[in-house]
Amino acid sequence: MRRLTEIICVFRIQLLSLRAEAGPFFLAGILFPASMYLFARAVSGAQSAQDHNRVRFVAGSIVFSISLTSISWLGYLLLENRFTGRLKLFATLPLAPSSYLLGILLFAFAQATLATTALLLVGRGFGVSMRPNIPMLTLVIMITVLCLCGLGVTIAARARSFTEGSLLTDALGAGLVFLAPIYYTPENMLPGLRTVSQLLPTAFAARAVETTLNGSYHVGSQLLALCLMAALTLGIGFRLTKWREE
């Protein structure tokens, strides 16, 4: 019970910071991804585009949102905790390192739930025909969050300064989306990048999200890849996290 209480306390502290900074979260989690949906639709001539293209754009925007919130936004919060001394306060409560990190992950799930729900409503508002398989979509979102949070945790743990960490999380949060065939097909990429881009976690996530939005559950290979990546990135991130700065 004590460990659960610690996790909930960390979650509530981060939730309070989200309430205080709702504007940046709205921009990163909802407005930018929704704008990318409109941009992709306009560039592709989507007034007459097939429904599956529109669903792909919605799936891409959901992954874009998760990438920005799980890497850029969450990484920023972790960097702030570390470089403003807040992490030292957590360490002296005393609070177990695992409770801190699990509380952060719980907060990341809450962010992803809010943003994904909002983007699904945006898609409905623009007339996108979707039959989301909610249980499978939820599972895909959770595994994707774990995978991308691991990257954010790793950067926050290894950054030598707040500025360096912020730049890295911002670049990675957006770069993993723009370098992956999410808003466009792999055939539109340079041959040398085509294979590599399809191995990015955001590429697996986008394919899985699109499949679940079409009502299917055949996402086994994508989930397996995301689970392996999540185990790797979270394992590295947890191991590198300095609970007490030297």
**pLDDT, tens digit, 9 for 90 and up, residues 67-105:** 999 998 888 888 888 888 777 777 676 777 778 888 889
Percent of the chain at pLDDT above 90? 40
**pLDDT, tens digit, 9 for 90 and up, residues 210-239:** 999 988 888 889 999 999 999 999 999 888
**pLDDT at residue 201 is higher than 90:** yes
The DSSP code for 186 is G
pTM (2 d.p.): 0.90
What ranges in 70-219 are assigned the alpha helix state H? 74-83, 86-91, 97-125, 134-158, 162-178, 191-197, 201-213
* pLDDT value at residue 91: 67
**pLDDT, tens digit, 9 for 90 and up, residues 110-127:** 999 999 999 999 998 988
* pLDDT value at residue 128: 86
Under 8 Å between Cβ of 5 and 96 = no
Q: Residue 245 — pLDDT band, cuts 50, 70, 90?
A: low
Q: How far apart are CA 210 and CA 119, in angstroms?
A: 13
Give how far Cα 229 sits from Cα of 180, 204, 211, 236, Å.
16, 10, 20, 11
Please list, residue by residue across 34-55, b when 16 or more beta carbons sit within 10 angstroms of its beta carbon and e when fewer do.
bebbeebbeebebeeeeeebbb
- The torsion angle over the Cα atoms of residues 132, 134, 140 and 144, rounded to 10 degrees, is 90
* pLDDT value at residue 204: 94
**pLDDT, tens digit, 9 for 90 and up, residues 10-25:** 888 888 877 777 788 8
* pLDDT value at residue 95: 76
* pLDDT value at residue 148: 94
Across residues 135-141, what is the average pLDDT?
Answer: 93
Name the strand (E) or helix (H) holding 33.
helix 32-43
**Mean pLDDT value across the chain:** 86
Residues 6 or more apart in contact with residue 45 via CB below 8 angstroms: none
